[in-house]
Amino acid sequence: MTWGLKNELKQVPNQLDVYRSALENEKESINLYRKYLSEATDNESKKVFEYLIKQEEDHYAIIDQIVTLINHSEEWVESAEFGKREEY
């Protein structure tokens, strides 16, 4: 008797995959807003798209830093007491 249940395994993305996907989304948003900015005809629209581009660039920089920090922790382990480390 099978009870009609399916056992499906789903791939769960790791943390880095999620952040890298977020970086791609931010990049796509930046490119889209730049396209809209180039097509805008009035100053108010241009200001809005410039603002949105800046926001997305800030998001990208933050997420990129998170990726760097996560990568750093996965690539290198050392004693907190000893060793030369770059500043965070």
51-87 residue pLDDT tens:
999 999 999 999 999 999 888 776 665 555 556 666 6
Among residues 68, 57, 69, the alpha carbon closest in space to that of 28 is found at 57
Please give the DSSP secondary-structure letter assigned to residue 86: -
pTM of the shown model: 0.71
Judged by phi (left if over 0) then psi (alpha if -120 to 50, else beta), residue 76 lies in beta
The whole-angstrom distance between residue 41's C-alpha and the CA centroid of its chain comes to 31
73 or 1, greater pLDDT: 73
Please report which confidence band the pLDDT of residue 13 belongs to, taking 50, 70 and 90 as the band edges. Answer: confident
Please give the single-letter amino acid code of residue 40.
A
